[in-house]
Structure 1
Amino acid sequence: MPHLTVEYSANLDGRADIGALCHALLRAVLSTGLFETGAVRVRAVRCEHYAIADALAENAFVDLNFRIGRGRSPEEKKRTGEAVFVAASSVLAPLFETPHFALSLEIREIDPDLSWKKNAIHSRLRGR
């Protein structure tokens, strides 16, 4: 488990390559060496309805919610967050040229007693 959910405002259609963002984030997560390949998920959710700041139509956002299992040190979590944030900032750099864009990231640890998983991908990738 690390699951990285990208929520983004619908007005980014045609202004940001969300598919490229997802792939850049996947590479960033894997580059840390802290997560098993078969466990990583990056997904994007387009938000059709939103209200941002002063409600200008140009205002846009990308919010990164990164859920990870326990077992990583504070330094490892910080290093991971920095890698993910740099990757997102790089892909989304043109949006920062306007005063209408906000990017955020939060890492949350999942309580293992309240998390259930079943993953057939692991056995395939581990068998390599």
Structure 2
Amino acid sequence: MPHLVLLYSGNLDRPAAQGGTDMGVLCRALCDALLTVRDEQDRQVFPTGGTRVLAFPAAHWAIADGGAAGEAAGRGGDYAFVYLNLRMAQGRSAAVHQRTGQTIEAVAKAHFAAHLAGRAIGITVQVDEGHEVFDAKNSSIHPLFAPRKT
């Protein structure tokens, strides 16, 4: 854990020249950024082998008024959205929650800077921490990052 899931309007899957973006680049940037988050003792918060970022386009979507206000404002009616939801296990401080959310937000805003400046797009970042009622993990990835015994 953590798992960062992005849900976004499918119109962002277009080429950049048509108002889209490379979501794979965004996923890599977000994953790399999560691995930089430190706690109050300057320790890496999220385990390298457990950090996941996944992005899914919505096949169907409706946003706001369908584009009328964007057209009237000269920003076009092709609205877009991105919802970034991070789920992490319990036990981290409020400062880590805040730092993590701000890190995700900064990467998303940088990635979508041209979109924010030139079109109507909504970006939502939500960090959730919860009590798991069932939690099973099976991974052959984690051992790749375990300290090696010499």
Q: Considering the TM-score relative to the shorter chain, is it more than 0.5?
A: yes
Q: Calculate the TM-score normalised by the size of structure 1.
A: 0.93
- Structure 1 residue 118: deviation in Å? 1.4
**CA deviation after TM superposition for structure 1 residue 115, in Å:** 2.2
Kindly provide the amino acid, as one letter, of the partner of residue 70 in structure 1: Q
Amino acid aligned to 2:7? E
TM (norm. structure 2) is: 0.80
Of structures 1 and 2, the one scoring higher in RCO (CA 8 A, sep 6+) is 1
Task: Find the structure with the greater CA-based Rg.
Answer: 2
Question: How far, CA to CA, are the matches of 2:115 and 2:134 in structure 1?
Answer: 38
Amino acid at match of 1:107: V
Gaps of 5+ in 2: 38-43, 68-76
Spell out the pairing of 1:1-128 with structure 2 (5 A cutoff).
1-13=1-13, 14=15, 15-32=20-37, 33-56=44-67, 57-128=77-148
Partners of 1:64 and 1:121 in 2: CA distance: 24
**RMSD of aligned Cα (Å):** 1.3
For residues 92 and 17 of structure 1, what CA distance do their matches in structure 2 show?
10
The runs of 4+ residues in structure 1 deviating greater than 3 Å are none
- Which is richer in strand? 1
Deviations 1:1-47 (A, max 9, x none): 10000111111122211111101101110010210000000011011
Which 10-residue stretch deviates more, 83-92 or 117-126?
117-126
Gaps of 5+ in 1: none
Identity of aligned residues (%): 37
SS in 2 for 1:112: coil
Q: Secondary structure at the match of 2:35?
A: helix
* Structure 2: distance between partners of 1:46 and 1:113: 28
